[in-house]
Structure 1
Amino acid sequence: MTSQRHIEGRCLCGAVTVKATVTNPIVRACHCDMCRRHTSSMFMSLATDGEIDVQGPFQTFQSSEWAERGFCSQCGSTLWYGTTHDGVRNLSAGLFDDAAGAPLKLEFFADAAPKGYALAGDHRKMTTVETLALFAPEDDA
């Protein structure tokens, strides 16, 4: 039986704290151009359940028509990638010790990853087309 557990994390300077609930936590990696520019690498996020509590000095930046990125306004640590239409925040795995013990299960924009960013393991690797269909579906209008 799987049970929920509460996790707590923080930014580099500790000014921002994050609390979340996880049931089956997984780590996802995104190789899109914006994530690489924002983090100087891929963005590693942790899947969480329901409510997320963020306390401290953070700011957001609208990075596309459908997404925003949260960061600590004191140290600049990446806090989340969020979709604006539904308010979902995908928390940075690095906020939590040992990424909350979660395994890597998914890569977004895997076909756009630089050669030196190859990740080991047997996990799903979504192409650019598959990722865009998931996050930015075209309107049927």
Structure 2
Amino acid sequence: MADAASERLKGQCLCGAVTFSAIPQGGMHACHCPSCRRQSGGVSLSVHCGDSLEVQGPVSTYDSSDWAVRQFCSSCGSNLFWRLKAGGMTTVSVQAFEDPSVFDMADEIYIDCKPGNYDLAGNHPRLTGAEVEAMFEAET
């Protein structure tokens, strides 16, 4: 995995209109919540980047919940970022980075919403929606 504490990584959307760089903080998170599945077309794989994200290009924002927004390329529609409205937490789609293979699986969230037609391999934490939401409430 990339040295998340110090390495700024680059990425872009499908069409290249949006480019970005960020400093990932830890491994990859797999989210199975209905919103992420609908937006990504499957399990959403992302990495926390705190407030380190630097973006160039046409980004649109969708107000997707009481606590977060989702951002995507205004030109090609690529799903790129998820941000807490309160700040301090931005996740970036792993597949938008130049080399997504640098990220190890950290955990799965909203495991209670995961459809039964797939499973992710590996021994990692699997948190329910209630457990995740309790963590967000504790941070605000």
TM-score > 0.5, shorter chain as reference: yes
Identity of aligned residues (%): 36
Whichever residue aligns with residue 48 of structure 2, its letter is A
| SS of residue in 1 equivalent to 2:38 | helix
Structure-2 change in CA distance of 1:19 and 1:105 (3 Å)? same
Moved over 4 A (4+): none
TM-score normalised by L of structure 1: 0.88
Whichever residue aligns with residue 129 of structure 2, its letter is T
In structure 2, distance between residues paired with 1:99 and 1:14: 16
Could you say which residue in structure 2 is the equivalent of 1:58?
Answer: 59
Q: Shift of residue 130 of structure 1?
A: 0.4
Q: Which runs of 5+ in 2 are unaligned?
A: none
CA contact (8 A) 2:71 2:82 kept: yes
Cα RMSD of the aligned pairs, angstroms, is 2.2
Relative to total residues, which structure has the larger strand share, 1 or 2? 1
Could you say which residue in structure 2 is the equivalent of 1:12?
Answer: 14
Structure-2 change in CA distance of 1:71 and 1:100 (3 Å)? same
Structure-2 change in CA distance of 1:89 and 1:128 (3 Å)? same
Q: Shift of residue 126 of structure 1?
A: 0.3
CA contact (8 A) 2:67 2:86 kept: yes
In structure 2, distance between residues paired with 1:2 and 1:94: 16
Q: Which runs of 5+ in 1 are unaligned?
A: none
CA contact (8 A) 1:25 1:100 kept: no
String of CA shifts for 1:54-107, please: whole Å, max 9, x gaps: 110111000011110000000000011111012521111111133250101111
Could you say which residue in structure 2 is the equivalent of 1:108?
Answer: 109
Whichever residue aligns with residue 11 of structure 2, its letter is G
Could you say which residue in structure 2 is the equivalent of 1:69?
Answer: 70
Could you say which residue in structure 1 is the equivalent of 2:133?
Answer: 132
